[in-house]
Amino acid sequence: MKRRILDARNAGFNMLRIWGGGLYESEHFYELCDVHGILVWQDFPYACAYYPDAGEYAEAARAEATAAVRRIRNHPSLALWCGNNENQVMYEGPWGGERPGRFLGENFYFDILPAVVAAEDPKTPYWPSSPYGGTPDSNSADYGDCHNWDVWHGRGDWKFYTENDSRFCSEFGFAASCGLRAWDAVLEPEDRHPLSPAVRWHDKTRKGYDTYLGYIGLHFPDPQTLEELVYFSQLNQAEALKFGVEHYRRRKGRCWGTLFWQLNDCWPVQSWAVIDSLGDPRAAYYACKKFYAPVLVSLVQKEQSAEVHLVSDLRDALAGTLTLTLQTFDGETLAEGTHAVRVGPNGAEVVASFDLAAARGRERDVFLYARFAPEGEASAPAENFLFLAEPKDWRASDPGLKVTLTEDDGGFRLTLFARRFAPYVWLRRSDNAPLFPTTDSGDNFFHLRPGETREFIVPQTEDTPTLEALRGQLIVRTL
């Protein structure tokens, strides 16, 4: 439990939503959220269904809610009580057939539960449902919170996230495979390929496996091996969540928050989680650490130019230097520029525009790199990349990656140097365990620019007690 809360904190989360299809968590959970600064959105346990809401059922619901509110109410992490998950929008739909004569459960969400919260915990806000906005369309982008499943359950290409203009997107997600170590625990040797029945059945998305593979193929190569399924699907999920969250964060002032589905899993599966059932972070987890950082630089292609946004969650205005470099995968600089930029307190601004004309005809082997360096120590530097072609179409060549391992106090120093662009560097051990045992430090699935060097301290563990042991286990892959 503590590890998951720390994982959430390390990824830049400041809120976790306890979904209505789940439960009231243990005291330990709320205490950990109190200590580590994680707000809790607590659904009452009603989700995606109709409930009898009169007579003995109503009294049972009142008694259960009263006990739960009294137990949880004094935790400073508790930020919101929510009546249910998607029951209101389900009735409005309706979902899956005929709508009942009345909204079964309405008495819970609009009478019993708000009365219990008002009596037992008046300091904490109550919200009738999620999504909800008090209008005939409970999933309206203009009022309250919104669930955006039009991409995953509809259009498939995560670039359609930009069509959602919600005020607070409290649920959306994109699926990927669990890690190789989780597959190791459940697959026989003959099942270790993307199209095996066992892999197909370990699929929480219920989307249809061919559709799932099709989503990957929009942006990345078609996976031919289990390792490629893990790698490409996780990269696709990472880019999807990055694209969506950056879209919402750029619209600060209109949109004030995102909660994506979901943090973690409880079984080895292809799902929307960013941490699998063994606690191994997926590629999207490492992307979270960047797109949920307090300061974000975000790049948007506008035909033959790039729009540069600076987003800050800091209480004070932020100023610094923005450096933009248009570069080929081989390291040739085509254009560059430097700007003094500023964003207001807790703000988001378009701070620069960059002409991409020099990339015309070379879209498949160029990238735009942005780096924001703040004045003083207001925040850590922020960086981002913009690519002009899909990864599956890149003209990427051997990056000339040099990997060096040396001993360091309490562990080992890993140094990576790339002569050419090294996309999506994946670090792991040969037993498929994460190279970094916790999420407090380290990085993964990152880009190395031509001529760039990065260093990491890899902790010494029982499985890698010596330098030679780590050298024998380290696996480094790029796209």
Q: Which domains does the chain have, with CATH numbers?
A: 1-137 (3.20.20.80), 148-290 (3.20.20.80), 295-393 (2.60.40.10), 401-477 (2.60.40)
The answer for residues whose C-beta is within 8 angstroms of residue 387's C-beta and 6 or more apart is 367, 368, 394
Pair 425, 456: CB distance under 8 Å: no
Q: Is 398 a residue whose pLDDT tops 90?
A: yes
**What local confidence, expressed as pLDDT, does residue 121 receive?**
99
Range 31-37 average pLDDT: 99
Q: Which sign, positive or negative, has the C-alpha torsion 127, 133, 139, 145?
A: negative
C-alpha 68/C-alpha 53 separation (Å) is: 18
Range 126-132 average pLDDT: 99
Q: Which of 198-212, 327-341, 373-387 reaches the highest mean pLDDT?
A: 327-341
Q: How confident is the model at residue 41 (pLDDT cuts 50, 70, 90)?
A: very high
Q: Is 439 a residue whose pLDDT tops 90?
A: no
Q: Is 377 a residue whose pLDDT tops 90?
A: no
Q: Is 351 a residue whose pLDDT tops 90?
A: yes
Q: Is 240 a residue whose pLDDT tops 90?
A: yes
Range 422-426 average pLDDT: 98
**What local confidence, expressed as pLDDT, does residue 211 receive?**
81
Q: How confident is the model at residue 210 (pLDDT cuts 50, 70, 90)?
A: confident
Q: What is the pLDDT of residues 450-467, one digit of tens each?
A: 999 999 999 988 888 899
- Name the burial class of residue 359, with classes exposed (0-12), middle (13-18) and buried (19+) by CB atoms within 10 angstroms of its CB: buried
Q: Is 378 a residue whose pLDDT tops 80?
A: no
Q: How confident is the model at residue 173 (pLDDT cuts 50, 70, 90)?
A: very high
Q: Is 239 a catalytic residue?
A: no
**What local confidence, expressed as pLDDT, does residue 96 receive?**
74
Pair 275, 263: CB distance under 8 Å: yes
Write down the catalytic residue from 25, 27, 64, 86. 86
| DSSP, residue by residue, 280-329 | PBPHHHHHHHHHTSSEEEEEEEETTEEEEEEEE--SS-EEEEEEEEEEET
**What local confidence, expressed as pLDDT, does residue 409 receive?**
84
C-alpha 59/C-alpha 64 separation (Å) is: 9
Q: What is the pTM of this model?
A: 0.96
**What local confidence, expressed as pLDDT, does residue 331 receive?**
97
The answer for residues whose C-beta is within 8 angstroms of residue 60's C-beta and 6 or more apart is none
**What local confidence, expressed as pLDDT, does residue 122 receive?**
98
Q: How confident is the model at residue 472 (pLDDT cuts 50, 70, 90)?
A: very high
**What local confidence, expressed as pLDDT, does residue 354 receive?**
99
**What local confidence, expressed as pLDDT, does residue 212 receive?**
82
Range 269-296 average pLDDT: 97
**What local confidence, expressed as pLDDT, does residue 142 receive?**
97
Q: What is the pLDDT of residues 137-170, one digit of tens each?
A: 999 999 999 999 999 998 889 999 999 999 999 9
**What local confidence, expressed as pLDDT, does residue 94 receive?**
80
Whose CA is closest to 234, among 279, 178, 186? Answer: 178
Q: How confident is the model at residue 196 (pLDDT cuts 50, 70, 90)?
A: very high
Half-sphere exposure of 396 (CA within 13 A, CB side): 25
**What local confidence, expressed as pLDDT, does residue 463 receive?**
81
Mean of pLDDT over the chain: 96
**What local confidence, expressed as pLDDT, does residue 358 receive?**
98
Q: How far is CA 134 from CA 22, 115, 130, in A?
A: 25, 18, 11
Q: What is the pLDDT of residues 50-69, one digit of tens each?
A: 999 999 999 999 999 999 99
**What local confidence, expressed as pLDDT, does residue 342 receive?**
98
